[in-house]
Amino acid sequence: MTTVDRDGNMVVRFENVLGREMASGVNSLDEYVAGYVIDARVMFDCLGSAKSMPKEWFMLWCKILSLQKLGSKHALERGLVKTSQRDLQKRCGLSTAMVNEGMQYFTALPWIRPVRRGLFQTNPALTVAGSSGEHEEWLADWRAAVGDQFILPGPAHAGEWREARKIAAKKAKEAMGMPNVVPIVAPRRAPARRQAKRLAEG
């Protein structure tokens, strides 16, 4: 179920839906994989229209999706993303500040959430899913931790989000009562010749 907020961003609310389409095939590692097709195309449509989003964030998100664990079904990390900001920085060739800001943005939507140190879960409604049972389990974990709503941002959302953060940071600094620094200017001294002339006249 979807609604549009006052800024034109689409807010999605989970509801139970039957009849998802099952897809199966061989991946790039010659591993047979199967799972339900969900709304990844909606996610990429949003990213492709996000004019105010830095291209580095798009790189970051694609790298995050590529790291989702889909190996052994018995692995505890299956369906999750095992990485860190330092790891993403190296993989994407981005600065620490850019990775940090991008991760905060995708967490705010929310399209990703931290599970524990070095382990994240991506929104099951927008990313790769496993089997039907796994998808239901992952979605239940997500809803318990994050809630039932997330945003499909409009073209200007990322820019507005960044600007709002700058304003909030400025207000926080002002609230701390940081004193205004007034530079001390040394008095100008008269040139030596003029000073000697004044002494002679005196």
Is residue 186 one of the residues assigned to a domain? Answer: no
> Length of the chain, please?
202
Is residue 78 one of the residues assigned to a domain? Answer: yes
22-26 and 32-36 strand pairing: antiparallel
Q: Residues 131-177: pLDDT tens digits?
A: 667 778 888 899 999 998 888 888 889 999 999 999 998 888 888 87
DSSP conformation class of 111: S
Is residue 27 one of the residues assigned to a domain? Answer: no
Judge contact between 16 and 6, C-beta under 8 A: no
Is residue 116 one of the residues assigned to a domain? Answer: yes
Over range 12-31, report the average pLDDT. 48
Boundaries of domain holding 44: 2-15+38-162
Is residue 120 one of the residues assigned to a domain? Answer: yes
Q: In 3D, which of 134, 132, 112 has the Cα closest to residue 67?
A: 112
Is residue 144 one of the residues assigned to a domain? Answer: yes
Using CA atoms, how far apart are residues 2 and 4, in angstroms rounded to an integer? 7
pLDDT, averaged across the chain: 75
Is residue 1 predicted with pLDDT exceeding 50? no
Judge contact between 79 and 138, C-beta under 8 A: yes
Is residue 70 one of the residues assigned to a domain? Answer: yes
Neighbours of 121 (CB within 10 A): 20
What integer pLDDT is reported at residue 84 of this predicted model?
93
Over range 101-113, report the average pLDDT. 95
Query: How many domains does the chain fold into?
Result: 1
Using CA atoms, how far apart are residues 146 and 123, in angstroms rounded to an integer? 10
Is residue 191 predicted with pLDDT exceeding 50? yes
DSSP conformation class of 128: -
Q: What is the CATH number of the domain that holds 51?
A: 1.10.10.10
What integer pLDDT is reported at residue 37 of this predicted model?
43
Is residue 22 one of the residues assigned to a domain? Answer: no
DSSP 15-71: -----PPEEEEE-TTS-EEEEE--THHHHHHHHHH-TTS-HHHHHHHHHHHHTB--S
